[in-house]
Amino acid sequence: MRSRSAVVASLVAAALLVPACAAPDATAPSPTAAPAVSTGASASPGDVVTGLVAPWSMVSVGESVLVSERDTGRIYEITPARDIRTVRTVEGVRFGGEGGLLGLAVDPAGSHLFVYSTGEDGNRVQRFALTGAPGGLALGEPETVNDALPAARTHNAGRIAFGPDGMLYVPVGDAGDRDAAQDPDTLHGTILRLTAEGGIPDDNPFPASPVYSYGHRNVQGVGWTADGRMFASEFGQDTWDELNLIEAGGNYGWPIVEGIGGDDRFIDPVQVWTPDEASPSGLAVIGDTLYVANLRGERVRAIPADDPASSRDLLVGEFGRLRDVIAAPDGLVWVATSNISRGTPRPGDDRIVALDLDSLAR
């Protein structure tokens, strides 16, 4: 086994780690025609955009929202008037399986868009200078933040977010190498904590390592409550999906434990669900509530921040599989569906739907 110092040295030198198993298909076709998109009325509940292809992540930029499409590599801007325009197609994305264009995040200064995608040599995080005003946002040329992330057809993780400490948090899937998730000297099955330039913060829990927590299978949602607690939604395998309270240096048990194991070596989740009622993906903290979008469970789950072991199910079956949820600039909650690539597409899928928070809370 390589030492942590050897792994970190390879990262600093920008050497690429060998993926645990085959990366998504290099030859998978990337659609070239823009989808047929219709827009709804500004700042009102209902469809915001229809006709998308596997939207994966949404992030607010001023009064606009940027959206990634996993299977096309496109980044769209939805303007305050709910018009839609293509901002950029990210180059070098390998499509196939669960790989492609995944998470988006904007740094606290609002100067760069950070993008997680599957590249030729594995998963990567790039950043693009973000310029222009809402309605005319533009992206500069890509700069590599980290291109040493393991990739596979499944378990690519990909949700990224800046924490209240200004650091970039990057969930990385186990990429099919289950046992590697128990080794913090690898990046499989981890949550990384990086500076905006890709450096390793001095106060990370493992010296000279980007790893913040490990023992994960496939984290697809992260968020922070007002008091600074970090929560993550995680796909289990066959038994339990999880909501975890993330601690620096914590080991969350995969693959030795799935769900609540009661083993002192590992940190148990604060809440679990069966995969058929969950498959939790994007997570948003809105006020004093965590909202989790669920794929197989076809619902948004509302979880009180002061009682994270409890929850309420919302929108069950109304829109099919749900990939992401955000508090949008118009004061509504936006939810992105994921029915085109898997599931049963409905007329207008895939779509982004705006919902009134007060109605959701009832």
8-state DSSP, 27: T
C-alpha torsion sign, points 316, 318, 323, 329? negative
Question: Within the chain, what is the greatest distance between any pair of CA atoms?
Answer: 57
Place of tokens 């390879």: 10
Q: What local confidence, expressed as pLDDT, does residue 34 receive?
A: 58
Q: Quickly tell me which residue has 């984290």 as its tokens.
A: 219
Q: Are 160 and 173 in contact (CB under 8 A)?
A: no
Cβ distance 271 to 278 under 8 Å? no
CA 116 to chain centre: 9
Class of domain 283-362: mainly beta
For the chain, the structural domain boundaries read 283-362
Instruction: Classify residue 182 by its DSSP letter.
Output: G
pLDDT band, very low/low/confident/very high, at 43 (cuts 50, 70, 90): confident
pLDDT at residue 7 above 60?
no
Residue found by looking up tokens 């990210």 in the block: 90
pTM of the model: 0.92
Tens digit of each residue's pLDDT (9 = 90 or more) over 293-350: 999 999 999 999 999 999 999 999 999 999 999 999 999 999 999 999 888 999 999 9
Q: Average pLDDT in the 13-38 region?
A: 46
- What confidence tens digit (pLDDT) does each residue in 120-139 have? 999 999 999 999 999 999 99
pLDDT of residue 341: 87
Q: Report the candidate in 312, 273, 276 with the shortest Cα–Cα distance to residue 295.
A: 276
Alpha helix (H) residue ranges in the chain = 4-12, 357-361
pLDDT bin (cut points 50, 70, 90) of residue 33 is low
Degrees to nearest 5, angle at CA 274 with 216 and 223 = 50
State the average pLDDT over residues 30-38: 54
| Residues sharing a CB contact under 8 Å with residue 101, sequence separation 6 or more, in sequence order | 56, 68, 69, 70, 71, 72, 73, 74, 75, 90, 93, 115, 117, 118
Strand partners, 241: 273
Strand partners, 276: none
Q: Is the pLDDT reported for residue 32 higher than 60?
A: no
Nearest to 281 by CA among 77, 58, 119: 58
Question: In the prediction, which pLDDT does 45 show?
Answer: 86
Rg of the chain over all Cα atoms, to the nearest angstrom: 19
Element containing residue 266 per DSSP (H, E): none
- Asked if the model's pLDDT at residue 5 lies above 50, the reply is no
Q: What's the mean pLDDT when you consider all of the chain? A: 90
On whether the CB atoms of residues 246 and 233 are closer than 8 A, the answer is: no
Q: Is the pLDDT of residue 28 over 80?
A: no
Q: What is the pLDDT of residues 223-257, one digit of tens each?
A: 999 999 999 999 999 999 999 999 999 999 999 99
